[in-house]
Amino acid sequence: MRSTVRRHRAPHVLVIVQNLPVPLDRRVWLECQALRAAGYEVSVICPKGPGDAAHEVLDGVHLHKYAPPRQAEGALGFAWEFAYCWVRTALLSLKVRRRSRFHVIQACNPPDTYWALALLWKLVGVRFVFDHHDLNPEVYRSRFGEPTGLVGKVQLGLLKWLERRTFRTADRVISTNTSYQDIAVRRGGVRREHTTVVRSGPDTSRMRPVYADDAVRRGGEHLVAYLGIMGPQDGVDGVLRAAHRIVHTRGRTDFRFALLGFGDCLDDLKRQSGELGLDGYVEFTGRVGPEQITRYLSAATIGLSPDPLSPLNDVSTMNKTMEYMAYALPVVAYRLTETVVSGGDSAVYVEPGDADGLADAVVALADDPDRRAELGFTGRRRCEQVLDWRPQAQAYVHVFDELLGFASAGPFPDGWPATDRRARRGDAGHPVDQWGNRLVDLRDDRALRAFAAARMMAPGTEPAPSAS
């Protein structure tokens, strides 16, 4: 039976995240903002990032953070990490409860352990929403293969059991794509009417191209960008192999490569870059925020989605692909099922595992400005019309409205937001973003195509001198 929240009090949603701090986790932060705009009270429990406070209120969202555990190694290390985070989260949930009663727990995986905490809180009437971000059995298979020994089979069996318990404890399941939704129904036994697809679409009013400083290309004519986590299953080593072929085999010293992000493999990737003789061509930025993402993706020529074919990657939505498209950045990607769903006709696809083909596709696209114009233009328009976060926000908030019987204001109480709502006028009278970068006029198809082809400075301005 559906519970009903009294109309004179805003429902309180507690969001639990373990693998990333918030607001660095962009999907979760967009969800928090959507709930706040709709009239919900929102609290978050997550690990600390560098320099983060134990508690702060950001844009009306209460962020409660704990010191993250040491990097896990081996099965025992991961077990300790999960137990440590679970206990810290449980203790913080009591702290949140003392401040304000919460009506719903939303747990975002990985890992699939917070059903047990939700089960305890259900005893006092709290509902449980599972935001399904990852497929942990597929993660295991992708990293270690199908187990043949007893230990491996037990580990995989435990992951399946935890996933099954999560699905069965959840009152509602939010799936990031239809592939995940089918798994929730088929493998998790969730009634399809209790699942909702909420894609991790970019907020195109925030993620939009600007005429950025050309210096980020570091003297190169073409900048190839990678944005995302750098873990064993993300294929970032393939970017370095492609860079080696482009620079050293094909002699294209006019290329530069920017790898934006962090992860377990970052140090190994830096060593590999040196061993391949790429240190003068590859930049590792580490953790980046919205300003750096805007600068790099606006100046880049091509965005790479090098995720290798695996049981996990084939059915997972890669946020970076859609984020490239939001910046009118042409994409080269391996042909994976959900990557094609996101990219549509807005990307160049290479057969999975063909590292040389990936490199050759990058060079061919870099040398074809007309093709880049078309891909960049159609990618941006696809983001605005199909993939944008705004319709996803409506579907997301509806899950909580329906579950709680709450008549919220919806994520856009002031009306459907315009793409250019955050623009302001700079000193020269041109629209600029919050960091002062001149905005590309997205209403002008010709201007957008020209930008996608050349990633040029704004018309009528002189380019900044390139760094040597």
Cβ atoms of residues 106 and 397 within 8 Å: no
Q: What count of other Cβ atoms lies within 10 Å of the Cβ of residue 95?
A: 12
Q: How confident is the model at residue 428 (pLDDT cuts 50, 70, 90)?
A: low
Cβ atoms of residues 340 and 316 within 8 Å: no
State what percent of residues in the chain have pLDDT above 90: 76
Does domain 210-385 fall under CATH 3.30.9.30? My reply is: no
pLDDT higher than 60, residue 236: yes
95-103 average pLDDT score:
97
Q: What count of other Cβ atoms lies within 10 Å of the Cβ of residue 435?
A: 12
pLDDT higher than 90, residue 426: no
118-122, 179-183, 229-233, 273-277: segment of lowest average pLDDT: 229-233
pLDDT higher than 70, residue 407: yes
Q: How confident is the model at residue 28 (pLDDT cuts 50, 70, 90)?
A: very high
Q: Is 293 exposed, middle or buried (0-12, 13-18, 19+ CB in 10 A)?
A: buried
Instruction: Report the C-alpha gap between 152 and 155 in whole angstroms.
Output: 5
Q: How far is CA 415 from CA 38, 418, 427, in A?
A: 12, 9, 30
* The listed CATH number (3.90.930.12, 3.40.50.300, 3.40.50.1820, 3.40.50.2000) that belongs to domain 12-198+388-404: 3.40.50.2000
Q: Which residue has the higher pLDDT, 58 or 457?
A: 58
pLDDT for the residue 434: 82
pLDDT for the residue 462: 43
Dihedral over alpha carbons 217, 218, 220, 223 (to 10 degrees):
-30
pLDDT for the residue 427: 53
pLDDT for the residue 4: 47
pLDDT for the residue 177: 93
Q: Is 270 exposed, middle or buried (0-12, 13-18, 19+ CB in 10 A)?
A: middle
Q: Which residue has the higher pLDDT, 242 or 145?
A: 242
pLDDT higher than 80, residue 75: no
Instruction: Report the C-alpha gap between 6 and 385 in whole angstroms.
Output: 36
On the question of a common fold for 12-198+388-404 and 210-385, the answer reads yes
30-44, 139-153, 343-357: segment of lowest average pLDDT: 139-153
pLDDT for the residue 220: 92
* Mean of per-residue pLDDT scores for the chain: 90
Cβ atoms of residues 348 and 331 within 8 Å: yes
181-196 average pLDDT score:
96
pLDDT higher than 70, residue 417: no
Instruction: Report the C-alpha gap between 99 and 360 in whole angstroms.
Output: 57
Looking at the DSSP assignment, which residues form a beta bridge with residue 224?
257, 302
Looking at the DSSP assignment, which residues form a beta bridge with residue 439?
210
Q: How confident is the model at residue 12 (pLDDT cuts 50, 70, 90)?
A: very high
Domain ranges of the chain: 12-198+388-404, 210-385
pLDDT for the residue 420: 55
